[in-house]
Structure 1
Amino acid sequence: MIPKKHRQLLFPLFVMVFLLPFVYHAPAIGTVHENASTDTHDLGMYYEILRDSTNSITIEDLIEGTYNSSFTPSTEKYLSFLHTDDTIWLKLNADDLITDHEQMHWLEYNDKIEFLTVYAVNEDGSYESYESGLFNLQNQPFPYPSLLFPIDGPEVKELYLQLNGQLPLTIFTKLYSNNSFIENVLSYKFYSGTFYGFLLALALYNLFLFFSFRERSYLYYTLYMFSFMLYQATMNSFDVQLFGHIASPWLLTKTLGFSCNLMIVAMILFGKEFLEIKHHLPRSNRVLNIAIGLAFLSTIALFAGVGQYFTDLFITTMALFVLVFLWISGLRLLLKGHKSARFYLLGWSFLLFSMMIQALVMLGFMPLSLAVFEEIPAYSAMFEALILSFALADKITLIMKDNRRTQAELNETLENKVLERTEQLKKIQVELEHLANTDRLTKIPNRMLLDHVMESEFKRSQIEGIPLSIILIDLDYFKNVNDTFGHQVGDSVLVETAKLFQASVRDSDTIGRWGGEEFLVICPSTTLEDALRLAEKIRTTLADHPFEEVGHKTASFGVASQISSDTLRSLISRSDKALYAAKENGRNRVEFIKIGQGEETLQSESDPLLRK
């Protein structure tokens, strides 16, 4: 009996065993079967090449022989001109390729190109032309991923291919006899069906596991599999076959870049979730988030008409960067002891190898080969998909083990958890007390906390015989601010004023919002003279400060210092009277009431006491 925790391994293991013979014996998708007719030619080495930078040469010029000396023989099996504004002419001698002129032949161009015209030139100099490419798909003899051109007639002497467009010009061409072409189509359908069916089966199986385990890694794996299938399908021009008759040619030129960006986003989401990069590698997580944003921006640029060369280069570089970055992230986590990264790293290595080869070819650093776009991606994708499926199963097993271990630890340390919860409740209580004692708008102490601090400091002053002073502040003409600019601006002025006051007082002082536009500063161990100097400092700081919308604002200050006969109420009353006097005497001033021989005497900032 197989343990339940290993059952999710069964399906990918079964698929691998079942399909291994097909993988081992299968040719590349889109290539002819080994047992097919030998009347099939890869045309690369047969071409003579002419690059027309003027884009003015016509087929008539070539038939007349004007440019015969300008053609150069090809030395490569697969030609690549990448992004070029030149018109590329390729010339073929039909007698070198066709032995049975009575039989129909098919010329296949196995890549996307915007404009492709094939000229079949007869011995008498007449010719037939076949226009195709993404902008002429209506001329295709039947829906097929490749562009097809029928070559029929014993008089055909030469073939000319005229290539134009903004897409990279990569030349994968074959010439088939009619029988070998039929064999190739059958082989193509069988092996492409096997390839995509294999990936689809794994994707659907892991989607089922997502609904069973509710583990997002399975969902992102499924998304990645579908995006990879879409990317490979557009690479193999299945979008041309399926939607070429209804989709605009312009859209078909963008599908490969779009599917590549979609695959980049999906592989990032899967890698982040599977490796838990956000938790283990937060800096790497930020880099990957930026990469997702760049993928979206490059998609917008792709459809906004930014140059094809630039977008292709950027997307290819992005794909290569993300692959390498995710591989390195997996390696870092493996070296840190995260076992779940082992299968991921192995599976990712297959894809990294495949995509690096493709990227280096597309960037022009390696020679073009059909295997780069057919065999290597097919085999790499199949092995990578299987290994990543094993990786997911392995991760679930590790998660289950961790859960059991965590449960055991919870049972053993219940008391610690209770203590931890108690500490959390205490912290919450402290936070609630802070909220209760903090003014909601200005974030400084409110009236409730000020009353408590003032009562405490007043008692301490009486017991220890140390001085205590308070400063009552009221913003001048603040109602005009609300009436003129609105309450939102008034609130912002209060907030900014509170920050200025906080920066102006000492660490030992307590400043809070007394109510409305009034503020109170409690100054322990502070004489009247020092309190007056502090009030004057606050007054000038406020008067000199420019507010964004209302300009300069001022405030009136009432200062009082505790005497032996004071009560808390009398102390506050005296500062309130001083504040009222400051308002009456013109505002933007500091006033205090001097106590002498049982009388209260009003003093202002012009008093010599302030000038000490």
Structure 2
Amino acid sequence: MTLLSKRFGYSLFLMLLPWILFFFVHPAPAAAADSQDAADDTIDLGMHYEILQDPTNSITIDELIEGSYNSSFAPSTEKYISFLHTKDTIWLKLNAADSIPNREQLHWLEYNDKIENLNVYVVRKDGSYELYKSGLYNLENQPFAYPSMLFPIDTSDVQEIYLQLNGQLPLTIFTKFYTNNSFLEKVTAYKFYSGSFYGFLLALALYNLFLYFSFRERSYLYYTLYMFSFMLFQGTMNSFDVELFGHIASPWLLTKTLGLSCNLMIVFMVLFGKEFLELKRHLPNSNRLLNVAIGLAVLSTIAVIAGVPQYYTDLFITAMGLVVLIFLWVSGVRLLLKGHKSARFYIVGWSFLLGSMIIQALVMLGFVPLSLAVFEEIPAYSAMFEALILSLALADKITLIMKDNRRTQEELNETLEKKVVERTQELEKIQVELEHLANTDRLTQIPNRILLDHVLENEFSRAQIEHTPLSIILIDIDYFKHVNDTFGHQVGDDVLVEAAQLFKSSVRDSDTVGRWGGEEFLIISPSTTLGEALELSEKIRAVFADFTFNAAGKKTASFGVAFQMPGDTLNSFISRSDKALYAAKENGRNRVEFINIRQDTDF
């Protein structure tokens, strides 16, 4: 899996490298346009305007042409003019002689923002004028599909141009004059750069969608949805909705798309942040607050659709988006300080977007001067770096998850192996104990009849194969019934236990002593001749007769000895020792006997 993640990382890097180089090497569209200003092919009109703010909304173009309000106009001091949300009608006056040096060509006047109602009055030298209606409620007058409001103007005999603006949308005025040639270059550059920018984001989103289907990690899915919602939001900010759907969408909807797309972006931004940082597990309180933010975004969406004044919804959405961004960034920092390495790239990527959104929010709130870069260049570069770094953050997280899983698996394997060894040892111990219980006489703790049969069978076979001597000694405690009858069975058991230990301590390590049954004991003596067995039996008999038992006093025992002989079977061998024991009892007890069936030199 590590190799797979590396290959994904290398593929991502190779896929993005051309785009990164492209954006660093080539100038931004605005910069390209600015470079042509010196040639008077493109003119920023902000500083050329005179401004009149009409709170009565009653001033007419005829009154302006007549000069009734000449003294009410104030010269513009800003390159980019902003009135944000205002109910006033804004009049902009442009003196053609001062602002259009090259009067011999067709010019294009561009108003580069959404506006509900925009009327352009072109006043000729003879006092007549032409009215060009535009804005979201007059998109049918657009010469072709384009995100900006466009006005083709023959400036050869133009004296003044008036722009009349009103509506609920914030009035941010980005206007330029282009010659026909410079406008064609501007459109070409716009198509190229916007296609490259959104193509980059789309490729990154689809790539991470593929990773989601490969890894089934929900962070990739939420990242993909966040990227699509961000592209939608950025597209509505750049008026692509006007360009693509202006001919079919209602003006009412076009005035709402920015608020709706921003709320959607906030929802997926929160879902991605919650899932990526695993806030439900690591920061549950933060997770609950972000769930509230999702609910507020839904309510904000309802408010936008319900027609709450746009000033309030824009203010709320801007403030909420900024708070959510800061909260997610702080959450990432908190997790990083707690040792969660997966948050490191997340914080870097989020910082790009956060910086961009803070600047835009400060502009919307009126704390920072308006600039075209705030709404075009800064968001574009921030989005590019943020999208790239967040994608790398996802790859880094998957790598860390794989490492953690591998380490956990190794620990589990070690634990499992240890447990297997422990259980095996326990089973072996239990098996030994069970075998001991199965083969040991419970009273005397010496081998029982089962083990004696097994040992005797093995020694008998070995003696036959290797032609080595084998002897057995069958012992019976004399008058043992009398002990039970006189002293009770407990004393009898004590005698058996003491007798077993006495017999066991009297033989060699190679001999086996076990309880044959009742008060009978059997000694198996490998590599022992009949004479050696008789000598051992006599020794044990004397020790036993001399021993004083705790409660029963002195006792004696009878011994029957058998020696393995050619032609013996195991049954005949045992039977001979049994007959010898019977003979010892018949001959007065407390003695050693053997049955000599055949003559043998070993006797």
Is this contact kept in 2: 1:38–1:180, CA < 8 A?
no
Residue in 2 that maps onto 1:282: 284
Q: Deviations over 1:303-335 (max 9, x none)?
A: 001111000000011110110000000000000
Structure 2 letter corresponding to 1:315: I
Distance 1:377 1:153 in 2: 35
Structure 1 letter corresponding to 2:112: N
Residue in 1 that maps onto 2:231: 229
Residue in 1 that maps onto 2:580: none
Deviation at 1:14, TM superposition (A): 1.8
Deviation at 1:35, TM superposition (A): 6.2
Is this contact kept in 1: 2:40–2:102, CA < 8 A?
no
Distance 2:77 2:210 in 1: 51
Residue in 2 that maps onto 1:247: 249
Identity %: 75
Structure 2 letter corresponding to 1:170: T
Q: Deviations over 1:81-108 (max 9, x none)?
A: 0000000000001112223323110000
Taking structure 1 as reference, are residues 328 and 154 closer, same or farther at Cα in structure 2, changes over 3 Å only? Answer: same
**What pairs with 1:312-461 in structure 2 (closer than 5 Å)?**
312-414=314-416
* TM-score for both structures, normalised by structure 1: 0.67
Residue in 1 that maps onto 2:18: 18
**What pairs with 1:44-59 in structure 2 (closer than 5 Å)?**
44-59=46-61
Corresponding position: 1:72 with 2:74: yes
Is this contact kept in 1: 2:107–2:155, CA < 8 A?
no
Is this contact kept in 1: 2:33–2:42, CA < 8 A?
no
Distance 2:386 2:335 in 1: 19
Structure 2 letter corresponding to 1:251: L
CA RMSD of aligned residues (A): 1.8
Is this contact kept in 1: 2:259–2:314, CA < 8 A?
yes
Is this contact kept in 2: 1:28–1:378, CA < 8 A?
no
**What pairs with 1:563-582 in structure 2 (closer than 5 Å)?**
none
Residue in 1 that maps onto 2:423: none
Is this contact kept in 2: 1:107–1:149, CA < 8 A?
yes
Residue in 1 that maps onto 2:258: 256
Distance 1:354 1:412 in 2: 49
**Higher deviation after alignment, 151-160 or 218-227:** 151-160
Q: Deviations over 1:31-56 (max 9, x none)?
A: 65466564101111111000000000
Is this contact kept in 2: 1:29–1:192, CA < 8 A?
no
Residue in 2 that maps onto 1:5: 5
Deviation at 1:153, TM superposition (A): 4.3
Deviation at 1:337, TM superposition (A): 0.4
**What is the DSSP-based 3-state SS (H/G/I as helix, E as strand, rest coil) of the residue aligned with 1:311?**
helix
Residue in 1 that maps onto 2:555: none
Is this contact kept in 1: 2:40–2:101, CA < 8 A?
no
Structure 2 letter corresponding to 1:327: W
**What pairs with 1:131-142 in structure 2 (closer than 5 Å)?**
131-142=133-144
Taking structure 1 as reference, are residues 380 and 24 closer, same or farther at Cα in structure 2, changes over 3 Å only? Answer: same
Larger radius of gyration: 2
Deviation at 1:28, TM superposition (A): 3.8
Instruction: Choose from 200, 203, 214 the match for 2:202.
Output: 200
**What is the DSSP-based 3-state SS (H/G/I as helix, E as strand, rest coil) of the residue aligned with 1:254?**
helix
Deviation at 1:417, TM superposition (A): 9.6
Distance 2:319 2:133 in 1: 33
Distance 2:77 2:123 in 1: 24
**What pairs with 1:36-51 in structure 2 (closer than 5 Å)?**
38-51=40-53
Distance 1:350 1:406 in 2: 35
Q: Deviations over 1:558-593 (max 9, x none)?
A: xxxxxxxxxxxxxxxxxxxxxxxxxxxxxxxxxxxx
Residue in 2 that maps onto 1:187: 189
**What is the DSSP-based 3-state SS (H/G/I as helix, E as strand, rest coil) of the residue aligned with 1:112?**
coil
Structure 1 letter corresponding to 2:211: L
Structure 2 letter corresponding to 1:120: V
Q: Deviations over 1:320-364 (max 9, x none)?
A: 011000000000000000000000000000000011101110111
Is this contact kept in 2: 1:265–1:292, CA < 8 A?
yes
Residue in 2 that maps onto 1:513: none
Is this contact kept in 2: 1:327–1:348, CA < 8 A?
yes
**What is the DSSP-based 3-state SS (H/G/I as helix, E as strand, rest coil) of the residue aligned with 2:248?**
coil
Residue in 1 that maps onto 2:453: none
**Higher deviation after alignment, 148-157 or 34-43:** 34-43
Distance 1:366 1:413 in 2: 61
Distance 1:322 1:344 in 2: 15
Taking structure 1 as reference, are residues 25 and 73 closer, same or farther at Cα in structure 2, changes over 3 Å only? Answer: farther
Distance 1:291 1:29 in 2: 36
Deviation at 1:406, TM superposition (A): 1.2
Structure 2 letter corresponding to 1:286: R
Structure 2 letter corresponding to 1:131: K
Taking structure 1 as reference, are residues 312 and 180 closer, same or farther at Cα in structure 2, changes over 3 Å only? Answer: same
Deviation at 1:20, TM superposition (A): 2.5
Distance 2:387 2:165 in 1: 37
Taking structure 1 as reference, are residues 417 and 369 closer, same or farther at Cα in structure 2, changes over 3 Å only? Answer: farther
Distance 2:117 2:11 in 1: 45
Residue in 1 that maps onto 2:507: none
Structure 2 letter corresponding to 1:295: A
Where in structure 2 are there 5+ consecutive unaligned residues? Answer: 421-603
Deviation at 1:269, TM superposition (A): 0.6
Instruction: Choose from 163, 177, 180 the match for 2:179.
Output: 177
Is this contact kept in 2: 1:31–1:188, CA < 8 A?
no
Report how many aligned residue pairs link the two structures: 418
Distance 1:17 1:114 in 2: 41
Distance 2:77 2:266 in 1: 35
